[in-house]
Amino acid sequence: MTDEEYRQFLAILTRRYVQPKIPHLRRRFAHHMMEEDEWSRHLTQAERGARVLRFIEDGCDDDPYQTFTLDRLSGSVWETWSSLGFSNRIVEESGFLDAYEAHAGEILAGLRPEHLPEADKEVLRAMGSSDPDAELAELVFRARGRQQRMERMQKEAPIQRHLRTVEEQLDQSWREFDDLRKMKSKDSSAEIPKKSRRWFKGLGQIAQGAALSIANVGLAVGVFHFPVSPETQTWGALASVATGIGTVLNGVGDLINE
């Protein structure tokens, strides 16, 4: 498949799976008064959580539990869980997940950084990236690298179920952090079990993936008004959401295999 054929393929998928559902999604969010402020809040949560987690991975030489309070660490877990839950709902309701479920192999096989909207670089900058071009290329590379693993996962359960499982795992993790925070406030000398750096790295990837999906579904729905072409606003959003889903699922490995 040539690059032009691939772009046409994404456009066909967008017309088939996404565009029929966009009007309903717009009406539903308007009915519930969930407009740009609601979307922006969840996007900001993901970006804020990712900044803390990026610092733990790249810039924190000391024990993260000495650098950050349990309140802040617990808050990052909650922000990531909350933004992922929102991301999961909107990728399902918008039809992006249906397109991904049905054609993950073809989407991932042809995916390139240049297929993603320029707006994604702004999202990465908001998450603390100093080189969004290189980071976007890495995220695409990692998402493509999951192609065979994605096929195996789909045989086990739908991708939708895997994403929901991640959400449930983060909910449990946040409750554990919150319990530790409360215990520490009662007894400052109490020893607490600690998550590894790898675990926090996985959490950061989940925050990144959620942010990309929220930004691009919002772009397709018209909630966000990034300066992109109409073509990129449609099939480009699908490429980016596919990268976001892949990034979330990449993070799961680090959470589980810490």
Q: What is the pLDDT of residues 162-203, one digit of tens each?
A: 999 999 999 999 999 888 888 878 877 778 888 888 899 999
Q: 90 pLDDT exceeds 90?
A: yes
CA-wise closest residue to 88 among 116, 46, 30 = 46
Lowest average pLDDT, out of 127-141, 142-156, 164-178, 213-227, goes to 142-156
Work out the angle at residue 209's Cα, subtended by the Cα atoms of residues 82 and 253, and round it to the nearest 5 degrees: 95
Take residue 215 and report the two structure tokens written for it: 């930004």
pTM listed for this prediction: 0.90
Alpha carbon 112 to its chain centroid, in Å, reads 18
Q: What is the pLDDT of residues 46-85, one digit of tens each?
A: 999 899 888 887 766 678 888 888 889 999 999 999 999 9
Q: Cα Rg for the chain, rounded, in angstroms?
A: 18
Distance CA 78, CA 84 (A): 10
